[in-house]
Structure 1
């Protein structure tokens, strides 16, 4: 039943994008990703998705690109992180120490206990979101695009959670609904000084578990103008 919900949801989101004159492209051509991403206005990859540092595989990671008139105008990536029963805060601390080593001690000085209490199992980490400046502002397209990447993560990996970290300014711009998550936690991670470039202690943890995602997808398939 859950796969049927996902297929219906994917069809709906693709239809919304098609009505906007858009299409999507899935890519795991990892060597080409940095150059392709530049077309969307993104000139860098964070360490988790950096193809020069991480040995991604076709079964673990994919990029989804938003196309209009044959041009890539947006992009987002997803990667599978199977942490089993490991405490999520321990996992996040370990990853931060590896990706952003700090000579003064542990890279993260704290992780929200809400994250540790809830998130475990197979995780779909969503990141690398970019929309070309000339095409920003279409919130319905952004919503359909972001929901689609989560549908694909569920279809591909049957994840228990999807999650990401977003800047405080995005919450203030009321973009939370467009990103397609159900949970929003401020001060998710506190970074030891000096804070790594492109990261901030004001980031929010945004997430949804599988049950929540399936319910939202089903609700959006039932309602004509929910996005």
Structure 2
């Protein structure tokens, strides 16, 4: 299927390429999740592999998932993200998550799956059809080198564009911890919709549960987003 974007996605592709080249970053896309799990274990010690993209738990490959990584000119891993199609079997996301929310835990030790919970948000009742889950978003922590230089909109939209190229989804969604959402992370990477208290995770050793926002975009949102010039999407500190 050939996907047509408003005004064509070519301006975004060209501008994002210029920005990445200026920062000395090369993006690579793959679908071998054994390879991805290995590079995460070896090069992303600050954040373990998320369960939704663990090849020991899920069957992931070219037909239903991809990962995207960014490396510096020196070959250092400085960015990851991944996406996969989710089979809703004719149900809305709310019904799917009621049974399957435990498949999307945060990458933290000691998550108590039994006592954690999902609350259906308004968006989960609307999300249906062809759906993709977006996660694993990480940028190397050296602020001033890779963080705070306007890369988030480029990287976020690059992943969303790849989802559209591969699957033309009706919706994409992800989960963002409160502590990250309150810093504007969802807006920076390109999510137009954010709903609070979707997932509440009980974690051993913590005084209270960890709250999570649902972030999502429709196909129309994605087309609108990718038609916005990147210079208008980049905050002073991203």
TM-score (norm 1): 0.84
1:77-108 superposed Cα distances (whole Å, 9 cap, x missing partner):
0111132530211211222356779557xx53
Query: Structure 1 unaligned runs (5+)?
Result: none
Question: Could you say what secondary structure the match of 2:216 adopts?
Answer: strand
**Aligned match of 1:121:** 129
**Aligned match of 1:63:** 67
Residue 180 of structure 1, CA deviation:
0.9
Is residue 81 of structure 1 aligned with residue 86 of structure 2?
A: yes
Alignment match of 1:145 (pick from 149, 155, 158): 155
**Aligned match of 2:173:** 163
Question: Could you say what secondary structure the match of 1:138 adopts?
Answer: coil
* Bigger fraction of residues in helix: 1
Matches of residues 28-39 of structure 1 in structure 2 within 5 Å?
28-37=31-40, 38-39=42-43
Residue 141 of structure 1, CA deviation:
1.0
Contact 2:133 2:173 in 1 (8 A): yes
Seen in structure 2, the aligned counterparts of structure 1 residues 21 and 54 have a Cα distance that, compared at 3 Å, is: same
**Aligned match of 1:218:** 227
CA distance in 2, matches of 1:98, 1:212: 26
Please give the root-mean-square deviation of Cα atoms over the aligned residues, in Å.
2.7
Is residue 20 of structure 1 aligned with residue 23 of structure 2?
A: yes
Query: Structure 2 unaligned runs (5+)?
Result: 106-111
TM-score (norm 2): 0.80
Count, aligned residues: 219
